[in-house]
């Protein structure tokens, strides 16, 4: 066959292929995918007795959550119960592929349900963190909770403050001004999230506005609450100073009249400063335990966040709110704090110890900080004669 004949034959085959592709219903049998309507009964049947573990909460708590979110969820399409179940399964650590295979839904349905539920959680007033620090009565209630729970000599601590590094995928240069700002000292890209909890391990305040490389003290001072507390002339700082109320924090934060931080160097041999550090640590540990409960429950934090960068703070904020919701139900039912411990095996979770300073770095001169609050609290421990357990009293 001569080359001209081959060319004409190739053009004919190309034309036929184009016709088959453009007129698929005429030259070939059309394929139709029937739309499946998933009901909540299908979800319950899919997970069976493991429904509570899959949703990271009890069935009663799940129904209560759906009732709260129902007014803010779309009325058309996937039912609210199914939409909430899909979102909770994803936040609990489930892969979108497993959710699609288990429930028989499309990938678009999974992510649409996820963001619908996250937006509903963040916009529901009943799920607000609600830190009423400006109210003197509320501050007294917070402080009494810490004192009664730990039998602490300090009755003026209203909350425990700390930061956590939420690992994320490397942000794009089009999303942030400087990608290097998000690379934390832990060796991964992260978002520095600041939070305050009460004695019941509920988060009363949180902020996710700082890159992972930001120091905890800088991240907190950049928030609205941090600016109010650092300004001695603000109404909130004046009220707390007048009543002697404060917030417990670790060495990463600067000592002030409203932030109780430990003495540097373990008190440097002073018995009463060492005792002050011990009793303050017994209160400050609440925020560490609250972070642990948060991470153990929501498995989405076991791996780097792979959602769009602009939506990551919303996802983190929703998990904090859902943690408080679960804590309310678990406390009412006298359940344990982290009932899903076996699901944690093999995961890689890191707390935000990004305030540590290596030997080659220059740290803040904490010994030069002046805080009348820290001195008064240390004197209170000395007046009561309370030493760290295991330390022999002086005669």
How many structural domains are present in the chain?
A: 2
Report d(CA 175, CA 318) in Å as an integer: 21
In the chain, DSSP assigns E strands to: 157-167, 190-197, 203-211, 246-248, 259-260
Statement to judge: residues 184 and 239 lie in one domain: yes
Give the contacts of 121 (CB within 8 A, at least 6 positions apart): 69, 127, 318, 321, 322
Supply angle C-alpha 137, 142, 148, rounded to 5. 120
Which CATH number covers residue 79? 1.10.472
User: Which pLDDT belongs to residue 30?
Assistant: 54
Q: Is residue 16 part of a domain?
A: no
pTM: 0.82
Do 270 and 197 belong together in one domain?
yes
All residues at 6 or more sequence positions from 367 whose CB lies less than 8 Å from its CB, including other chains? 264, 265
Helix, strand, coil tally for the chain in percent (to 5): 55, 10, 35
Per-residue pLDDT at 149: 76
Q: At which of 98, 127, 156 does a domain end?
A: 127
Low-confidence ranges of the chain (pLDDT < 70): 1-36, 150, 331-370, 391-395
Q: Which two tokens stand for residue 366?
A: 């904490």
Give the span between the Cα atoms of 376 and 357, in whole angstroms: 28
Could you tell me if 191 and 316 are in contact, meaning their C-beta atoms sit under 8 angstroms apart? Answer: yes
Maximum pairwise Cα distance, the chain? 114
Look at residue 305 and give its three-state secondary structure: strand
Distances (CA, A) of 28 to 19, 24, 95, 250: 11, 5, 36, 70
208 and 82 fall within a common domain: no
pLDDT of 130 reads: 87
163 assigned to some structural domain:
yes
Q: How do beta strands 259-260 and 190-197 pair?
A: unpaired
Residues 376 and 233 in one domain: yes
Please tell me the predicted confidence (pLDDT) of residue 330.
73
The verdict on residue 62 lying in a domain is yes
Which residue, of 127, 157, 189, is where some domain finishes?
Answer: 127
Contact yes or no for 387/164 (Cβ under 8 A): no
The answer as to whether 10 is a domain residue is no
Q: Are 181 and 213 in contact (CB under 8 A)?
A: yes
159 and 217 assigned to the same domain: yes
8 A C-beta contact, residue 341 and residue 71: no
Domain end position, chosen among 96, 127, 158: 127
Residue 270 lies in a domain: yes
| Domain range for 52 | 40-127
Q: Are 230 and 355 contained in the same domain?
A: yes
229 found inside a domain:
yes
The verdict on 52 and 191 lying in the same domain is no
Same domain? 327 vs 194: yes
DSSP run (H or E) holding 100: helix 96-103
User: Residues 140, 289: one domain?
Assistant: yes
HEC states along 194-217? EEEECCCCCEEEEEEEEECCCCHH
Does any domain span residue 4? no
Query: Which residue is associated with the tokens 């999303």?
Result: 175
Does 102 lie in the same domain as 145?
no
Residue 31 in domain = no
Give 177's DSSP letter.
Answer: S
pLDDT at 152 (0 to 100)? 84
Residues 179 and 67 in one domain: no
* 76 and 215 assigned to the same domain: no
């Amino acid at each position: 066959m001569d080359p001209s004949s081959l060319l004409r034959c190739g053009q004919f085959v190309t034309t036929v292929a184009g016709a088959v592709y453009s007129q698929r219903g005429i030259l070939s049998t059309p394929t139709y995918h029937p739309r499946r309507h998933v009901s909540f009964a299908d979800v319950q049947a899919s997970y069976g007795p493991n429904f509570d573990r899959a949703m990271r909460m009890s069935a009663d708590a799940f129904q209560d959550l759906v009732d709260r979110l129902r007014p803010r969820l779309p009325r058309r399409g996937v039912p609210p119960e199914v939409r909430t179940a899909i979102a909770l399964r994803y936040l609990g650590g489930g892969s979108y592929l497993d959710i699609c295979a288990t429930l028989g839904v499309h990938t678009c349905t999974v992510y649409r349900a996820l963001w619908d539920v996250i937006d509903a959680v963040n916009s529901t007033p009943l799920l607000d963190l609600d830190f009423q620090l400006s109210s003197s009565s509320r501050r007294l209630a917070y402080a009494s909770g810490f004192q009664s729970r730990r039998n602490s000599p300090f009755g003026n601590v209203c909350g425990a403050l700390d930061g956590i590094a939420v690992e994320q995928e490397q942000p794009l240069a089009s999303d942030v001004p400087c990608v290097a700002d998000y690379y934390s000292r832990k060796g991964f890209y992260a978002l520095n999230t600041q939070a305050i909890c009460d004695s019941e391990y509920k988060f009363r305040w949180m902020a996710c506005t700082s890159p992972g490389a930001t120091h905890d003290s800088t991240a907190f001072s950049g928030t609205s609450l941090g600016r109010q507390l650092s300004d001695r002339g603000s109404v909130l700082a004046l009220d707390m100073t007048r009543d002697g109320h404060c917030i417990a924090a670790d060495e990463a934060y600067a000592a002030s009249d409203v932030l109780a931080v430990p003495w540097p160097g373990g008190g440097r041999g002073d018995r009463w400063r060492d005792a002050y550090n011990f009793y303050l640590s017994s209160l400050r540990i609440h925020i560490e335990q609250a972070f642990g409960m948060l991470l153990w429950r929501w498995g989405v934090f076991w791996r780097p966040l792979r959602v769009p960068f602009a939506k990551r703070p919303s996802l983190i904020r929703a998990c904090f709110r859902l943690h408080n919701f679960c804590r309310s139900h678990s406390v009412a039912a006298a359940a344990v704090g982290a009932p899903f411990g076996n699901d944690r095996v093999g995961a890689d979770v890191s707390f935000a110890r990004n305030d540590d300073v290596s030997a080659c770095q220059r740290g803040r001169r904490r010994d030069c900080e002046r805080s009348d609050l820290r001195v008064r609290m240390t004197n209170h421990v000395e007046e009561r004669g309370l030493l760290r357990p295991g330390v022999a009293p002086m005669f």
